[in-house]
Each structure stands twice: as structure tokens, then as C-alpha cells.
Amino acid sequence: MNAVTPEMNIPHYQPTGRECELFEMAQSNGLPLLLKGPTGCGKTRFVEHMAARMGRPLYTVACHDDLSAADLIGRYLLRGGETEWVDGPLTRAVREGAICYLDEVVEARKDVTVVLHPLTDTRRTLMIDRTGEELIAPPGFMLVASYNPGYQNVLKRMKPSTRQRFLSLTFDFPDQETEIAVVTTESGLDVARVTPLVRLGGHIRKLSGMDLEEGVSTRLLIYAATLIAKGMPIDQALEVAIVEPLTDDADVQTALRDLIATIYG
């Protein structure tokens, strides 16, 4: 659970549409926002960029199976022989009028939904049962959540009653020109060497419906480009940054290596 302050440099983000405008309108009108898209397509970077650009503090929570409402709200802890209440990241964001970003929110336990509902309607309130407080979110507070629809199943599906409380934006991997610019900026690798790498990513994504659960992320392309920029041989960089992270299946790994040989042959 990380807090980012506006004094930090604005993280690079390359807009692909009017998403920045929508984010600003949502924040200024106290509306929650839901980001949908595959892993590594830029959802988290987008939120970090917008928070810094707007000069708003940001609390980011990486949701997981064991994340409970208490983890977000806070709990009593024993410190120096005394019991002391400690706010969780959601409570701190509400108190400060900050942005709270719940990454992969569907992974959290179901009791989290109960906490979020009053914050995502006209009440904009957070109940802290342990302390008896009822916090009303100030105008600057914004709740942002994200999830990957491709990984949804019966047990990890966002209910319509929750989904319809948010404005929603769908993210996808950028077009080739934009992705080349992003990978070049993030890795420091020159455009001439980034171009075939991004082309490789595009080919792999076309295979995602066959033997891969999901195509290669822009994040992994940046990892590969960074290694290459630092002097690692291309074949080794692609092996550790693309082939191995994408699959453990030996046949699929062979197919990926064959594709790499075609692109770089």
C-alpha cells in the first residue's frame, strides 16, 4: 500500500484518447472511476500520472485474496504497551481528500464491497465501526478501481450492483506507434531497436486466444528493452523478459522462440 505525493515528478503516460479529460471530470465532480483492461497495459501508470498531474496525493492498494475491509479502513494495534487506532489507506485518503486506487479490486475479499458502496453513491461516506466514526468524503476525494476482465470467473466477478456505481474506462494495449514511443521513453532504447520488439509484441498478442492466457504486456516489452539498452544480448533479454514470464509450457515456449527468430532473423 503506497502513498504518492504531488511533489514527486509526473510519471510518463501517453494518452490514447480522452481518458485524461474523463479522469479530471470524474475527480472534480466526486465520481468514482473503474478501469478495465489486461495486465500491464498502463492502468496503474495512468492513475499515477493523473494524480501527479493534478497535484493530488495518491494511495495505491494492490488487492489480493486476503485483503479485507479492515486492511483498508484500519485497526487497533498494540504500540508501546498501549492500544492505538491506526487508519488504513482508504481512511487516510478520505480524511485527506486524496485519490485512493484499488488495483485489481475483484481480488479482494467480499467484505470490501460493503465498505465501498457508501463511498460510490451520493452518500460519499465511510463508516468506521470500530471507532464509531462516520467520515464524509471531502470534494477532493476520489475512488479509482481497476480489474482485468480476462481473468474473471464465477468467484472473482464484479457484481453489476458494484460495477454500475462507477464511471468506466476500457484500456487496451496502445497502437504500434504509441507503444514504440512509450517503450523508447521508458527504457532509453533507440527507436530502431524498439520497433521490432513492439512488432513482436503485436504478433504474440494475436496468439493469446490459442495457448496463452494473455498477450505480452507493454510492461514486459519495457523490461526487455531496458535489458537490451543496458547491453544484454537480444536473445537472452527476450528469453527472460518475454518467453519465461508468459508461459511454463515447453511447446509454447518453443513457438515463441520460433516467432522471435522470425522477427529478428
* Residue 207: predicted pLDDT: 80
With a CB cutoff of 8 Å and minimum separation 6, the contacts of 242 are: 200, 204, 216, 220, 221, 224, 256, 260
Pick the CATH number of 2-170 from 2.40.50.140, 3.30.70.100, 3.40.50.300, 3.40.50.2000: 3.40.50.300
- Is 51 in contact with 160 (CB distance < 8 Å)? no
DSSP letters of 86-106? Answer: EE-HHHHHHHHT-EEEEETGG
- Nearest Cα to 136, choosing from 112, 113, 118? 118
| Cell numbers for 243 | 518467453
Domain ranges of the chain: 2-170, 176-264
Integer Cα distance of 101 and 95 in angstroms = 15
Are the CB atoms for 55 and 233 separated by under 8 Å? no
CB contact set of 193 (below 8 Å; sequence gap of 6+): 225, 228
Q: What rounded mean pLDDT belongs to the chain?
A: 91
In tens, the pLDDT along 76-101 reads 898 878 889 999 999 999 999 999 99
pTM across the whole model: 0.85
